Structure 1
Amino acid sequence: MSRTTFRLNDGRSIPAVGLGTWQSKPNEVRDAVEFALQHGYRHIDTALNYGNEREVGEGIRASGVPRDDIWVTTKLDNPWHHRVVEGFARSLSDLDIGYIDLYLMHFPCSTDPEDSTKHLPDWDYVKTWQEMQKLLDAGKVGSIGVSNFQIRHLEKLLADPSCKVVPAVNQIELHPSNPSPKLLDFCKSKGIHCTAYSCLGGTIGSPINNSGPLLRDPAILEVATAKGRTPQQVVLMWGVQRGTSIIPKSISPSRIAQNFELDGWTLTPEEMKKISGVQTRFKVVGDGWMPIKVFFDDDE
């Protein structure tokens, strides 16, 4: 599974397992990226909003892994929606890796850069997508997509005459306590691949987001014991076997290596069903910090 890839609607292939870098501090993320790539990872996920693109780029270069063997995803931050070219150029410069494999619109929210409590009155994500489509002609990005888009956002975007490129990816929060089957099915029907973030159910102790009891759930523990695997590994395998790419975040070398040990075993249909049957529901990422609501809890 660690070598599995998923084919996107533009013909390119995204690695199934990647390293997430959200909330990773600069000095920590550089070492984590270098270690992950030297131990088999070929997908690194970052974002302008994370403030660590420069260090991610340093880790990529320090790894010694050829650039063309690595898939790098980064994202346009909310206050840059009306400055797509500039936002992309900043990420490209900070990463300093020549090109970006996948560029995502981080949220369907065009925040006023002068006042984070306000949404730009004359701009929305459809206009942002119009500008993102133009990036493909410049030759510095391979694929474009979105993140945190719900069904209603995608319906509006795809129905607009200006939408000439269907997003290759929708990166969304996905784990057994937030499985979002309706959203997954909708994306599949439109040929949009889904990448799962917060795929382990959150970061314990995070000052700005939630963490749920997913890895202590009896069903997860039961499957993990039966497989001789960690709870994290069975939850990650569940994600990959659902057809989603996964980007677990860690700065611990042992955990980074452990999260990648997904070869030589699979979950049975019964085990997949048991994990999918987890009853606890929670979201890690909310929208209370944005000027508009973007999550509507209608994707289950």
Structure 2
Amino acid sequence: MTSIGLRSDLVVPLGDGGRIPLLGFGTWQLRGREAYEATRWALEAGYRHIDTATGYGNEAEVGAALRDSGVPREEVFITTKMPPDHVGRERRTLEESLAKLGTDDVDLWLVHWPPGGTAGVDSWRAFIEMRERGLARAIGVSNYSLAQIDELTQATGATPAVNQIKWSPFQFDRAMLDGCRSRGVVVEGYSPFRAARLDHPVLRRIAEEHGKTPAQIIVRWHIQHRVVVIPKSARRDRIVANIDVLDFALAPDEMAALDDLGHG
């Protein structure tokens, strides 16, 4: 199977000059041996983008899976995130993440939530410093509003490369998508299945027409919107199925019908 991270049509540029694979593997709620095995299976299946976080408690297992996989570090895009209550401990948090992952840097480091509901300008300045030190190749945010992103940009001159938010056809928000893109921010969607109704008749009909599962249709919808998607599973068969979305395309009317689910 083709490695996702190695296909030029399956990556999107980041504002700082880097690139992020459109399809990654999420590890939320995976712990211990389960996290290790799922990450190994994902790398074997062809994923080259792994998403973790300090708060997930699985960075060590993700790092071990990467080392044991035999896949070169430079071929894998690694994201981790800082919890909002770690404000003031940014550098130590990232250094602890790198030690657990067993890497010299991460490809993307995110503020996991707006700290205290604010944009967290001081914390963002620390993120910029860690990027300048080479510990994070790109920096971004998660669960931020457009106004909060603007506050960071106006205060520091540095715009987040990514905004990772809950996203699926049922959360489709054209204003948010266009707003991020106009600012040079890549939208990355998490919980694509938890945020969806996999039994919805429109989704099931499109899936049946393509001989795919509703979950595969959702992944494909993200890719065609050029929105990064990070499906998670602990089951090997589903991990493999979620990357098996490159042999078909959704028609414009199907994309529109899926977009409309967000207005239902």
Matches within 5 A, 1:159-174: 159-160=154-155, 163-174=156-167
Which of residues 61, 66, 71 in structure 1 aligns to 2:67?
Answer: 61
Normalised by the size of structure 2, how large is the TM-score? 0.93
Give the CA deviation at 1:180. Answer: 2.2
SS of 1:165 mapped into structure 2: coil
Show the counterpart of 1:294.
none
Give the CA deviation at 1:39. Answer: 1.4
Code of the residue aligned with 1:199 in structure 2: it is P
Partners of 1:78 and 1:155 in 2: CA distance = 18
Show the counterpart of 2:115.
109
1:3-44 Cα distance to aligned partner (Å, 9 max, x none): 411111111110111000001122101011111111110000
Show the counterpart of 2:82.
76
Partners of 1:186 and 1:73 in 2: CA distance = 23
Show the counterpart of 1:131.
126
Show the counterpart of 2:237.
254
Code of the residue aligned with 1:179 in structure 2: it is F
Pairing 1:220–2:203 present: yes
Which of residues 180, 190, 195 in structure 1 aligns to 2:188?
Answer: 195
Pairing 1:265–2:248 present: yes
Which of residues 140, 147, 151 in structure 1 aligns to 2:142?
Answer: 147
Code of the residue aligned with 2:154 in structure 1: it is A
Normalised by the size of structure 1, how large is the TM-score? 0.82
SS of 2:20 mapped into structure 1: strand
Partners of 2:103 and 2:18 in 1: CA distance = 19
Give the CA deviation at 1:59. Answer: 0.8
Partners of 1:84 and 1:45 in 2: CA distance = 19
- Backbone CA RMSD of aligned residues: 1.6
Give the CA deviation at 1:124. Answer: 5.7
Matches within 5 A, 1:10-49: 10-49=16-55
Partners of 1:279 and 1:66 in 2: CA distance = 39
Code of the residue aligned with 2:234 in structure 1: it is I
Partners of 2:134 and 2:144 in 1: CA distance = 25
Give the CA deviation at 1:159. Answer: 2.2
1:134-190 Cα distance to aligned partner (Å, 9 max, x none): 001211211011111012211222222xx1321111111110111122111110000
Larger proportion of helix: 2
Q: 1:78 to 1:279 in 2, by over 3 A?
A: closer
1:63-109 Cα distance to aligned partner (Å, 9 max, x none): 11001000000001111111111111111111112221100010112
SS of 2:137 mapped into structure 1: strand
Figure out how many residues of one structure are paired with residues of the other and give that number.
Answer: 258
Give the CA deviation at 1:280. Answer: 6.8
Code of the residue aligned with 1:194 in structure 2: it is V
Code of the residue aligned with 1:265 in structure 2: it is F
Q: After the TM superposition, which parts of structure 1 deviate over 2 Å for at least 4 consecutive aligned residues?
A: none
Partners of 2:263 and 2:16 in 1: CA distance = 36
Q: Is the 8 A contact 1:200 1:236 kept in 2?
A: no
Q: Is the 8 A contact 1:177 1:201 kept in 2?
A: no
Q: Is the 8 A contact 1:217 1:278 kept in 2?
A: no
Q: Is the 8 A contact 1:77 1:105 kept in 2?
A: yes
Show the counterpart of 2:15.
9
Partners of 2:19 and 2:199 in 1: CA distance = 33
Partners of 1:268 and 1:60 in 2: CA distance = 36
Partners of 1:132 and 1:140 in 2: CA distance = 10
Q: 1:279 to 1:151 in 2, by over 3 A?
A: closer
Partners of 1:124 and 1:90 in 2: CA distance = 23
Percent identity, please. 35
Task: Identify unmatched segments of 5+ residues in structure 2.
Answer: none
SS of 1:72 mapped into structure 2: strand
